[in-house]
């Protein structure tokens, strides 16, 4: 049963990140085709992420405290909502308020799903089913990389409908995998184990108490928002950066594919890597790599140089993601688990809001070069603050044991 749950959890991450690639990574491609400007795209993505900021703590609180609906059940409902929203894009084929609302809701729900899937790993483990995080998350990058490697080419040849059809098929696969996981989890007695463990867990706390108890963690997350500013710029506006050096959407797809493939080795091997280094050391090192990657993109003058810049993804995103998720789980009391993951996702979302707005306006006013320069400054500042505070955050599980 443990092997089956690990495979299914890997498929959940894989299909989630494939859908993320279709909607978020190709957002500029889709929206430009529908007649939106760069500034319009920035506003749409910003509004979507603002909405997600409010949705995430509510969903996290529900997942932490509710005894009537399971974490998997919440994700199944959200997946169905996404399928309905994607279906609406077949009808709405030009820039309009209706299409803007649909796209905003789609991006918001996608973003809200991420901390829930991160927390699902630890929820399964708490119930007696040892589930790795690094390996399934690396499979997410693998699925994403394979998809975007071909998606840009297919869109160039067959049009935007490729994105919509791909999105619906991926969501169907995600929903099926969630259903299988729920069945096998319950069959293995997971829900009963969880209920029994719930009697011995620390009392869940509300959001306000959580912030009061984790002030340094909150500050560190504000710094993470700065670190991820450049990452959001690249995710949202890579097409414009690529076009500025003579490339197109096919080149963009190849860049995203290379980027995702390079995330796989450190995520897959993370359990072995962390045996040789402190989590805090890995987090500081990867934060510096985010800044170095941004600097390389700034000085790039060709598609080839942009591809080379993605190799820093190996030690930046590839190390930071499993490290921060595991770090949060280790330092949080059990009643804070999902809230801790959600706060991290929220600050990354807030970073995406500012990157979406600033990036769109800077593109229209000054162009891609200045946009990347601004990203470099903000990411650099975030890295400095983060490196200075991360070692001061104490592991409460050790202190209270």
pLDDT per position as a tens digit, 65-103 = 655 457 788 889 999 999 999 999 999 989 999 999 999
Would the pLDDT of 200 be above 50?
A: no
As to burial, measured by CB atoms within 10 angstroms (0-12 exposed, 13-18 middle, 19+ buried), residue 246 is: exposed
Q: What is the tens place of the pLDDT at every residue in 35-71?
A: 999 889 989 988 998 898 888 777 766 666 655 457 7
Q: Is the pLDDT of residue 348 over 70?
A: yes
Per-residue model confidence (pLDDT) at position 40: 92
Q: At 229, list the tokens.
A: 């500013």
Calpha distance 238→137 (Å, rounded): 23
Helix, strand or coil, per DSSP, at residue 200: coil
- In this structure, the dihedral spanned by the alpha carbons of residues 227, 233, 238 and 240, taken in order and rounded to 10 degrees, is -150
How does DSSP classify residue 204?
A: P
Give residue-wise pLDDT tens across range 289-298: 999 999 999 9
**Nearest residue to 328 via CA among 284, 238, 390:** 390
Total residue count of the chain as it appears in this document = 401
Report the C-alpha gap between 315 and 37 in whole angstroms: 34
Q: Distance between CA atoms of 353 and 355, rounded to whole angstroms?
A: 5
Model-level pTM? 0.73
Identify the pLDDT of residue 291. Answer: 96
What radius of gyration do the chain's Cα atoms show?
20
User: Is residue 194's pLDDT more than 50?
Assistant: no
Q: Looking at per-residue confidence, does 17 or 129 come out higher?
A: 17
Using alpha carbons only, give the angle 94, 96, 102 rounded to the nearest 5 degrees.
95
- For 38-52, 116-130, 248-262, which range has the lowest pLDDT when averaged over its residues? 116-130
Q: What is the mean pLDDT of the chain?
A: 84
Give the pLDDT band (50/70/90) at residue 401. very low
Q: Which residues contact 145 (CB under 8 A, 6 or more apart)?
A: 256, 257, 258, 259, 260, 261, 263, 264
Q: Which CATH architecture has domain 2-396?
A: Up-down Bundle (1.20)
Whether the Cβ atoms of residue 119 and residue 337 lie closer than 8 Å to each other: yes
Task: Take residue 222 and report the two structure tokens written for it.
Answer: 């504000």
What is the per-residue pLDDT for 196? 46
Give me 96's structure tokens.
Answer: 């309009």
pLDDT surpassing 60 at residue 191: no
Helix (H) or strand (E) holding 21: none
């Amino acid at each position: 049963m443990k092997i089956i749950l690990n495979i299914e959890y890997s498929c959940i991450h894989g299909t989630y990140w494939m859908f993320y690639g279709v909607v978020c990574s190709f957002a500029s491609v889709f929206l430009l085709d529908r007649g939106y400007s760069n500034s319009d795209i920035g506003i749409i993505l910003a509004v979507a992420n603002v909405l997600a900021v409010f949705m995430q703590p509510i969903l996290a609180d529900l997942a932490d405290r509710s005894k009537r609906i399971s974490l998997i059940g919440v994700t199944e409902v959200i997946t169905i909502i996404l399928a309905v929203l994607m279906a609406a894009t077949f009808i709405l084929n030009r820039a309009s308020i209706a299409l803007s609302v649909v796209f905003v809701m789609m991006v918001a729900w996608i973003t809200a799903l991420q901390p829930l899937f991160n927390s699902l790993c630890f929820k399964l483990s708490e119930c007696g089913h040892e589930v790795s995080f690094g390996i399934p998350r690396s499979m997410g990058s693998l699925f994403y990389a394979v998809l975007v490697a071909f998606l840009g080419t297919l869109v160039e040849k067959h049009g935007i409908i490729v994105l919509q059809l791909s999105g619906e098929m991926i969501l169907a696969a995600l929903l099926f995998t969630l259903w299988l996981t729920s069945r096998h989890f319950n069959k293995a007695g997971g829900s009963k184990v969880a209920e029994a463990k719930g009697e011995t867990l620390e009392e869940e706390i509300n959001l306000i108490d959580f912030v009061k108890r984790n002030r340094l963690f909150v500050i560190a997350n504000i710094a993470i928002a700065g670190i991820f500013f450049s990452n959001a710029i690249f995710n949202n506006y890579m097409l414009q950066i690529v076009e500025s050096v003579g490339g197109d959407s096919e080149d963009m797809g190849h860049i995203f594919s290379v980027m995702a493939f390079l995330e796989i080795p450190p995520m897959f091997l993370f359990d072995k890597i962390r045996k040789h280094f402190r989590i805090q050391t890995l987090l500081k090192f990867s934060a510096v790599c985010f800044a170095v990657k941004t600097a390389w993109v700034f000085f790039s003058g060709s598609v080839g140089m942009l591809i080379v810049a993605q190799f820093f993804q190996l030690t930046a995103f590839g190390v930071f993601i499993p490290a921060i998720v595991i770090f949060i789980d280790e330092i949080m009391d059990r009643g804070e688990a999902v809230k801790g993951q959600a706060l991290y996702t929220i600050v990354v979302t807030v970073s995406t809001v500012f990157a979406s707005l600033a990036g769109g306006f800077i593109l229209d006013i000054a162009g891609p070069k200045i946009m990347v320069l601004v990203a470099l400054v903000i990411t650099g500042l975030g890295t400095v603050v983060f490196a200075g505070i991360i070692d001061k955050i104490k592991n409460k599980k050790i202190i209270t044991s």
